Structure 1
Amino acid sequence: MKEINIFYNALETLPVLASKIKAKQKKIMGYLCSYAPEELIYAAGFHPMRLFSSKSDIVQAEQHLQAYCCSLVRGVLEDSLSGRLDFLDGTVFPHTCDSMQRLSDIWRMNGKYEFFADVILPAKLNTQSARAYMKDVLTGFKKDLEKAAGKEITDTDLQNSIKKFNIIRKNLSKIYALQSKKPGIIKGSDLYTIVKGSMVMDRDEVADILPVIAGNLEKIDLPPKNIKRIVMSGSICDSPDIYSAMESAGGVIVGDDLCTGQRWFEGQTQVDENPMDAIAARLLNRVICPAKHFSPTARGENLVSLAKKNRADGVIFMLLKFCDPHAFDYPYLKEFLEKQGIKTLLIEMDDQQQNSGQLATRFETFIHYI
């Protein structure tokens, strides 16, 4: 499908993509967490871009971060120090894990980019005070963006931004639903590329292309296949090879609980209320990650619901090595799933070191087991 190739082409070389965005007179604001309030960044006239590690060797970052920080944090810092992110005009850090907070400190003290913002959202989301605090933090961030942009961000700007991101989220959800309804309707590597591309490409372009892809997929009549349905859980999954290995083993990803997947685009922002209240409400009510708290069992209940909704044969935990929040969550989530008769597999990954042969063997064994 030629529309999917647009995403592949955009991701081939990030600096080339960045130069095309800058040619449209847009400054680029990098971010490292799905809790970044992208609607505000976009409404200010900036381009929000999710940062991923280029997976280059870690050399300079070793002077700033311990070896037991996750490969995402170390890899992105390495890219910054080595000049591979010099196209950035600023960076936004919603505080999540300890490693990300320390990266924020190093980033700020390095002072390499024009704009920097810590967006310290509440960790506990189920109280009235959390809602008030969330609104205050977003209001402060809005003022920082207005100062950087040299203009006021109006309600009309925000409403237009909300509508744009709602289109993106709606169509990504639709594509995922089609994959769950007719597993294999789209290759996992293509789905991965579309989601990652949607996080870094010009959002106007993404909002135009995604409905076309969703519409084309709807027209495909796919005969039933004897394959195992898998839900993936974790923080990020930044490798198309994982999806290819899964499919070669006889499985297909029909849903995920990833911050580079459904957790990022899940839920619409209301357009019929105060835009700042609406943005805050979505961040408060969306599916949480281990860095946030809604109830002691919220994460487990969501994962079980996701598995049952997608009729999953099993859940695979794809955890970044040294990712403490997800590692602490894993035993409780595994127990929660297995009490419901849902089989699980744990895979620890490192952006810089991936053993594709071992990964394929473990996938094959698990799929045979379930």
Structure 2
Amino acid sequence: MGTPLERLLGHYARRYPVATDRLVIGCVGQDVPVELVVAAGAVPVRLAGKPGADVTAGETYLGAGVDRCTRSVLTRLLAGEYGRLDRLLVSRDCEASLRLFYAVRELRRVEPELGLPETYLVDVLHLPHWTTTRYNRVRFGELVTVLERWTGARLTEEAVAAAIGEYDEHRRLLRAVSALRRGARLTGVQALAAFGAALPVAEHNELLRALPASGLGVYSGRRVFLTGSSHDNPDVYRALEEAGFVVVGEDHDWGDLLAMRPVAAPTLDALVERYQYNGPTAARASIDDRAANTARAAVECGAELVVSYVRGNDDAPPWDFPAQAAALRAHGIPAVLVDRQEYGEIDLAGVCGE
């Protein structure tokens, strides 16, 4: 069986397929309300790309101008690499995700023999206005109807409340993982695996609860905070840590952002507001908000260096960097921009030479 950490690392390395007899719903992006998927009796599985693998099939339909990570996700969908996916939810968290949704929907229409799952767009807006909340509430209501049709289950208030409770506990446990990493008890690679292990939420929570008492190590190195593009795999973290750094935090949506902002109450309306105000991510938050959040988080992590890592065709993060660097200077924390990187790779020259 192994220790809880070993089991989390194993589930992260072997994310697909997920073994379950329930309906499996693939999820793309941070804005998919997984609580509703679980309340409907299905298992949400967030889809990651595969660095270093050929993306020709995905590029055929998305073009070369889309982030390679998204091209990889479509390539893996076309190849059936995720195993059984009964349905697909794609959030409008960035332009690349939106283009993926339209590509899958059109491919189902014109090439049904490809066997792609039925897909639905989760359209969550993030402006801090009551009109935005009203818009999102309508969209969530429509998603409830779709999930009920897909699963044959009724999303009762009790089922929604129970799922919200499970995921609020999940977020609390992930914040404990972040605390272990800040205390040098976990590496960045290990923490990323603890966050991203592909497990039903109840099983994931069980392993996370057992993690602090499972004989963790003590790690040292120059403490790095990562901002910029998200990381759905450990390759960049591993490269940094093999070079003598230790990743103590990040502000992307496969890491610490998953643990932020619990739901205020066990209701659908509270869930709507949680996703409306979740963030801030580079694709949808103001530059000032991003800078303030990055500086606050880096200070909390005791970071000695902030690295803004940006993949090719991920255009939003470089706009944030000057304000982030200025905010960090006020705390005596240097920052470097590593731009136009290949998916899953990092040019360490600019980082090691800082």
Distance 1:221 1:117 in 2: 43
Cα contact 2:181–2:188 (8 A) shared by 1:
no
Secondary structure of 2:119 counterpart: strand
Distance 1:187 1:149 in 2: 39
Secondary structure of 2:38 counterpart: helix
Deviation at 1:221, TM superposition (A): 8.9
Runs of 5+ consecutive residues of structure 2 not aligned to the other structure = 109-114
Change (3 A) 1:71 1:296: closer
Q: Which residue of 1 aligns with 2:202?
A: 204
Q: Which residue of 1 aligns with 2:6?
A: 5
Q: Which amino acid aligns with 1:91?
A: L
Change (3 A) 1:158 1:63: same
Give a deviation string over 1:280-328, Cα, whole Å, max 9, x none: 12112333212324x5521111111111222221211122211112233
Deviation at 1:50, TM superposition (A): 0.9
Q: Which amino acid aligns with 2:222?
A: K
Distance 1:281 1:53 in 2: 29
Change (3 A) 1:226 1:31: closer
Change (3 A) 1:291 1:194: same
Of the candidates 70, 94, 112, which is equivalent to residue 73 of structure 1? 70
Of the candidates 285, 288, 299, which is equivalent to residue 280 of structure 2? 288
Give a deviation string over 1:327-358, Cα, whole Å, max 9, x none: 33333333433355421122243236x36xx4
Distance 1:363 1:208 in 2: 37
1:57 correspondence with 2:51: no
Distance 2:66 2:322 in 1: 21
Q: Which residue of 2 aligns with 1:277?
A: 269
Aligned length: 345
- Residues 164-313 of structure 1 aligned to structure 2 (within 5 Å): 164-180=166-182, 182-183=183-184, 185-197=185-197, 200-216=198-214, 227-271=221-265, 273=266, 275-293=267-285, 297-313=288-304
Q: Which residue of 1 aligns with 2:99?
A: 102
Distance 1:100 1:65 in 2: 11
Q: Which residue of 1 aligns with 2:27?
A: 31
Distance 1:340 1:221 in 2: 29
Change (3 A) 1:235 1:221: closer
Deviation at 1:214, TM superposition (A): 2.9
Cα contact 2:306–2:334 (8 A) shared by 1:
yes
Q: Which residue of 2 aligns with 1:364?
A: 352
Change (3 A) 1:62 1:247: closer
Distance 1:62 1:262 in 2: 30
Change (3 A) 1:215 1:35: farther
Q: Which residue of 1 aligns with 2:313?
A: 322
4+ long deviations beyond 4 Å: none
Of the candidates 323, 329, 344, which is equivalent to residue 332 of structure 1? 323
Deviation at 1:270, TM superposition (A): 2.7
Deviation at 1:171, TM superposition (A): 0.9
Cα contact 1:89–1:115 (8 A) shared by 2:
yes
Change (3 A) 1:241 1:151: closer
Secondary structure of 1:315 counterpart: strand
Secondary structure of 1:118 counterpart: strand
More displaced 10-residue stretch of structure 1: 92-101 or 233-242: 233-242
Distance 1:248 1:99 in 2: 31
Distance 1:187 1:39 in 2: 29
Give a deviation string over 1:63-103, Cα, whole Å, max 9, x none: 21221211111101111122223511111111122222111
Runs of 5+ consecutive residues of structure 1 not aligned to the other structure = none
Identity %: 21
Q: Which amino acid aligns with 1:63?
A: T
Change (3 A) 1:244 1:296: closer
Deviation at 1:250, TM superposition (A): 3.3
Deviation at 1:31, TM superposition (A): 1.4
Q: Which residue of 2 aligns with 1:150?
A: 152
Cα contact 1:287–1:302 (8 A) shared by 2:
no
- Residues 75-94 of structure 1 aligned to structure 2 (within 5 Å): 75-94=72-91
Give a deviation string over 1:152-199, Cα, whole Å, max 9, x none: 10111111111111221111101111221x22x1132221211121xx
Secondary structure of 2:316 counterpart: helix
Deviation at 1:34, TM superposition (A): 1.2
Distance 1:318 1:327 in 2: 9
Secondary structure of 1:238 counterpart: coil
User: What root-mean-square deviation, in Å, do the aligned CA atoms of Structure 1 and Structure 2 show?
Assistant: 2.3
Change (3 A) 1:98 1:153: same
Give a deviation string over 1:249-290, Cα, whole Å, max 9, x none: 33322221011101122121234x5x1012112112333212
Q: Which amino acid aligns with 1:121?
A: V
Q: Which amino acid aligns with 1:256?
A: E
